[in-house]
């Protein structure tokens, strides 16, 4: 009798944890989707305006200022999430998504619409597959963190070096590794978020859960956008 009760209680707790985790993921993906939609809309509006394109890309200082502002928002959100309010975190994420739309507007001018659409669909499929893998695999993905971090650092170094080399073959290899690294990061980040969601007491009305969802949305957003850009470099057709 005691064993049955304990089993039922354990099963009930597991169900509650699962419900909380699912609610957390819904919040993460809602914010991520909102960020991607905002970025796409702003990019389209900017690419359609000669005035905005001239303002953004007419001076390298303007573009540099936008990039530094984006970098500052990412660092600020990641490092200061525990000290800021849930509302502030939300606003910072929205502002970052909009700024990223401005800096990515050139993609719509360089590549054909069909290439952009195809790359987006491919990214969505690969992202979804790796998210499902990270969510349900029984493998321990802990060791992936250091490996992927080292790979990301190496990728950044290679990109900086290729600015001076201007090698098409090097860029091709960088793009392949970029896709692979961000596929791995998608699975790894998803697993981390699953573990975070499993430890939460609740999601609705919980400021901590809201802020964690914003950070999670930012991480997955970055994985998606970077994977999309590298795929576009590999297979996109220029105008």
pLDDT tens by residue, 127-162: 999 999 999 998 888 889 889 999 999 999 999 999
The answer for residues whose C-beta is within 8 angstroms of residue 175's C-beta and 6 or more apart is 230, 231, 233, 234
Three-class SS state of 117: helix
Domain boundaries, the chain: 2-235
The secondary structure of residue 139, as a DSSP letter, is: S
Confidence band, pLDDT 50/70/90 cuts, at residue 2: very low
Rounded Cα distance, 194 and 219, in Å: 13
Rounded Cα distance, 135 and 166, in Å: 39
**Where is pLDDT greater, at 93 or 3?**
93
Angle at 17 between CA 13 and CA 18, to 5 degrees: 115
Half-sphere exposure of residue 185, counting CA atoms within 13 Å on the CB side? 22
pLDDT tens by residue, 53-76: 999 988 889 999 999 999 999 999
List residues bridging with 238 in a β-sheet: 111
Between 110-114, 138-142, 206-210, the lowest mean confidence (pLDDT) is in 138-142
User: What predicted TM-score, i.e. pTM, was given to this entire model?
Assistant: 0.91
Q: Reply yes or no on whether the pLDDT at 8 is more than 60.
A: no
Confidence band, pLDDT 50/70/90 cuts, at residue 1: very low
């Amino acid at each position: 009798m005691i064993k049955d009760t304990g089993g039922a209680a354990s099963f009930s707790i597991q169900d509650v944890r699962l419900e909380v985790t699912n609610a957390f993921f819904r919040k993460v993906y809602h914010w991520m989707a909102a960020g991607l939609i905002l970025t796409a809309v702003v990019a389209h509006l900017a690419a359609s305006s000669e005035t905005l394109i001239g303002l953004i890309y007419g001076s390298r200082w303007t573009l540099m200022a936008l990039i530094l502002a984006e970098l500052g928002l990412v660092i600020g959100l990641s490092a200061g999430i525990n000290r800021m309010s849930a509302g502030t975190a939300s606003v910072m994420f929205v502002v970052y998504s909009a700024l990223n739309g401005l800096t990515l507007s050139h993609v719509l001018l360089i590549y054909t619409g069909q290439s952009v659409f195809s790359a987006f669909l491919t990214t969505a499929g690969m992202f979804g597959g790796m998210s499902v893998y990270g969510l349900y695999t029984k493998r321990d993905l802990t060791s992936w963190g250091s490996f992927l971090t080292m790979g990301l650092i190496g990728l950044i170094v290679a990109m900086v070096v290729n600015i001076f080399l201007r090698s098409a073959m090097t860029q091709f290899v960088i793009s392949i590794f970029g896709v692979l690294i961000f596929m791995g990061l998608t699975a790894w980040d998803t697993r981390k978020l699953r573990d975070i969601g499993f430890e939460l007491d609740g999601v609705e009305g919980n400021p901590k859960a809201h802020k964690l969802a914003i950070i999670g949305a930012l991480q997955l957003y970055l994985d998606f956008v970077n994977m999309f850009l590298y795929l576009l470099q590999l297979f996109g057709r220029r105008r």
